[in-house]
Amino acid sequence: MPTPKKKTSRSRRDMRRSHDGLSAPAVAVEKKTGELIRPHRASKGADGALYYKGKQISAAK
């Protein structure tokens, strides 16, 4: 199996790994309830109805 001729420097190794870090998930504040939710997703209210961007999109069951 081939082996490298030169040792990879710390700088070059870390530059290669620069895109490997994890980022925090995006969150938005729900206008109706004030709680944090993932953006572009409907949230369920206390009454059981679904809300999207502060507007009711589905009736309570």
Domain contains 7: no
Contact of 20 with 14, CB cutoff 8 Å: no
| Residue 23 belongs to a domain | no
Give the integer Cα–Cα distance in Å for 41 and 15.
35
**Residue 54, in any domain of the structure:** yes
Structural tokens at position 58: 């589905």
Number of domains the chain is built from: 1
Whether 41 is covered by a domain: the verdict is: yes
Residue 59 domain flag: yes
Q: How would you write the pLDDT of the chain (61 residues) with one tens digit per residue?
A: 899 999 999 999 999 999 999 999 999 887 777 889 899 988 888 888 888 888 889 888 7
Question: CA-CA-CA-CA torsion for 29, 35, 38, 41, nearest 10 degrees?
Answer: -90
Residue 18 falls inside a structural domain: no
Query: Does any domain span residue 8?
Result: no
Does the pTM surpass 0.85? The reply is no
Where in the sequence is the domain holding 59, given as residue range(s)?
Answer: 28-61
Alpha carbons 43 and 37: distance in angstroms, whole number: 7
Judge whether 16 lies within some domain.
no
